Amino acid sequence: MSAPNKSFDPVEVSTLSQENIDENVANAIAAIAGANSLDELKEVRLAHTGDRSPLALANREIGALPPAAKAEAGKRIGQARGKVNQCLEVRTLELEVLRDQLLLIEETVDVTMAAATVAQGARHPLTTIQEQISDVFLALGYELAEGPEIEAEWFNFDALNIAPDHPARTMQDTFFAGNEDSGIVLRTHTSPVQIRSMLKRELPIYVVCPGRVFRTDELDATHSPVFHQVEALVIDRGITLADLKGTLDHFAQSMFGEGIVTRLRPSYFPFTEPSAEVDLQCFVCRGASIDNPEAACRTCRSEGWIEWGGCGMVNPKVLVACGIDPDEYTGFAFGMGLERTLMFRHGITDMRDMVEGDIRFTRAFGLGV
């Protein structure tokens, strides 16, 4: 700022000369016109109207003028600054319109553009069949029961009346957690869930239990060391073999179609008495292929029946072991392999297809639940 003076004409102060002011205004207007974005305009605004801009600096000189000259100089600077501000305002509006237009162009969605293809997954048929089966039994009023895959030997064998010298307990079939004396196994079937249910639940018991089981088998077309079963257990007053048969027939129909029945063949399981193998009526030929070479059936190998699982009336010894009075309560249980069920239901010939996790296999079953 110049030193106060009292005598000179303001136009004589170079920064306040009209020529200089006009030049500053012209510079500002040119810069404003040259700003092509709001960001650029912000810089221009700072340079031409900010505290250190030529017009602001000139304005400060007014203070040093004699009082008589202040008004005139102030008016000229004020007009100049007003003009610059007005230009800034106009340009701001223009650039805002421009920005909005550009934004609309940038954000345009081309609905005709080819979409990027994202590979679609699918649920594994073992998952969906477990849900289907659970639904069948939940609809009958059963509850879903689950047990651990790493199981105490006592639940997997002893409580099920499978004696320590039973062949199923040797290392041949059973994966032991740690050594053979650990007392802990990977469950070889879902039947330990029977025991857990009887010990834990209130009577009567109606449970369905799908789950993963393990046996020391090599993976081949018909075996896998890891596979799945579904178990059902009913304990109530007055339960008979007829209830078991009716339930199996209902289950068979819900999985394989109207009219498909089951057949029981005498068998042996330590935890059921009597015990039976469950055969499924062939849902492809319905028995028409038996002794009829003209109508041979690949699904049942013209036998009319397909082996499906095991079943029986719960052995009273097992009831007693679980604290249930066998004179008051009786029950049935059955269990079947889910891989096997899927294999004949869908004509899958190789177990490995279900294990390998190839998306092409899984996708063939769709996304159904």
Binding residues vs ligand PHE (CB under 6 A): 189, 191, 231, 269, 272, 310-312, 333-335
In whole angstroms, the minimum distance from the beta carbon of 197 to ligand PHE comes to 12
Element (DSSP H or E) covering residue 143: strand 143-144
In whole angstroms, the minimum distance from the beta carbon of 277 to ligand PHE comes to 9
Between 35 and 351, whose beta carbon lies closer to ligand PHE? 351
In whole angstroms, the minimum distance from the beta carbon of 206 to ligand PHE comes to 15
In whole angstroms, the minimum distance from the beta carbon of 368 to ligand PHE comes to 27
In whole angstroms, the minimum distance from the beta carbon of 295 to ligand PHE comes to 32
Element (DSSP H or E) covering residue 237: none
Q: Which long-range contacts (CB under 8 A, 24 or more apart) does 139-143 make?
A: 140/206, 140/247, 140/250, 141/206, 142/206, 142/207, 142/208, 142/232, 143/201, 143/206, 143/207, 143/208
**Given 3-state DSSP classes, what are the helix, strand and coil percentages for the chain, each rounded to the nearest 5?**
45, 20, 40
Element (DSSP H or E) covering residue 40: helix 38-49
In whole angstroms, the minimum distance from the beta carbon of 160 to ligand PHE comes to 8
In whole angstroms, the minimum distance from the beta carbon of 147 to ligand PHE comes to 13
Between 53 and 156, whose beta carbon lies closer to ligand PHE? 156
Q: Say which residues have a Cβ less than 8 Å from residue 18's Cβ, sequence separation at least 6.
A: 11, 76
- The encoded tokens of residue 301 equal 């190998």
Between 65 and 336, whose beta carbon lies closer to ligand PHE? 336
Between 64 and 168, whose beta carbon lies closer to ligand PHE? 168
- Residues in the chain, overall count: 369
For residue 325, the tally of other CB atoms under 10 A from its CB is 10
Between 227 and 305, whose beta carbon lies closer to ligand PHE? 227
In whole angstroms, the minimum distance from the beta carbon of 319 to ligand PHE comes to 14
Between 28 and 306, whose beta carbon lies closer to ligand PHE? 306
Instruction: Measure CA 204 to chain center.
Output: 35
Between 250 and 286, whose beta carbon lies closer to ligand PHE? 250
**Contact by Cβ (8 Å): 166, 157:** yes
Q: Which pairing describes strands 184-186 and 262-269: parallel, antiparallel, or unpaired?
A: unpaired
Between 15 and 191, whose beta carbon lies closer to ligand PHE? 191
Which DSSP symbol is given to 172?
A: T
Residue 23 gets the label, from left (phi > 0), alpha (psi -120 to 50) or beta, of: alpha
* CB contact burial 21-57 (16+ within 10 A = b; e otherwise): beebbebbbebbeebeeeeebeebbeebbeeebbbee
Cα(81)–Cα(354) distance, integer angstroms = 81
Between 269 and 361, whose beta carbon lies closer to ligand PHE? 269
Instruction: Measure CA 202 to chain center.
Output: 34
